[in-house]
Amino acid sequence: MVLACPHCGSRNLRYSHLSSPVERLASLVGLRPSRCRDCRERFNVRMWSLSNLSYARCPKCLNQTLSTWSPNHYHVPLRRGIALFLGGNAFRCDSCRHNFVSFRPRKRRKSRSHALAN
């Protein structure tokens, strides 16, 4: 599932602050306010797709195209270091380049050769 702005079609999104008790309740059932960084449009995004619920997602831009990073090449803060020690996976978002740790697996991309063969 690729999240995009309904106004301009950009994928440069971020979570918006929860501004009311209604938005807080809606976030409990999977509706999260988001904001487009290009056109500044604010809209709700359904976060709970059953097919994508078990995969890691970037906490900054909500993207699921992730790569890995090595803790040997970066300064690892204490909280991330503990999560890595407990078995978390070190992921890096391909679009916003944010390093984070998640206990969920990365969603595998379809290979180009497989997509071209079909």
Asked whether 66 and 52 are in contact (CB, 8 A), the reply is no
Q: Mind listing the pLDDT tens digit for each residue in 5-61? A: 888 988 888 888 888 899 888 887 778 888 898 999 988 888 767 777 788 888 887
Task: Report how many domains make up the chain.
Answer: 2
Same domain, 18 and 48: yes
Instruction: Give the start-end residues of each E strand in 9-64.
Output: 13-15, 31-36, 42-46
Q: Would you state the pLDDT for residue 110?
A: 66
Same domain, 59 and 116: yes
Which pTM does this prediction carry? Answer: 0.58
Q: Mind listing the pLDDT tens digit for each residue in 93-115? A: 988 889 999 999 988 876 555 54
Band (pLDDT 50/70/90 cuts) for residue 86 is very high
Percentage of residues in the chain having pLDDT higher than 90: 21
Same domain, 39 and 85: no
Same domain, 32 and 69: no
Domain containing 94: what range? 54-118
Q: Mind listing the pLDDT tens digit for each residue in 51-69? A: 777 888 888 877 888 999 8
Same domain, 9 and 28: yes
Same domain, 100 and 58: yes
Question: Cβ–Cβ contacts within 10 Å for residue 34, how many?
Answer: 20
Same domain, 76 and 86: yes
Q: Would you state the pLDDT for residue 90?
A: 93
Q: Give CA–CA dist 101/68, Å, rounded.
A: 10
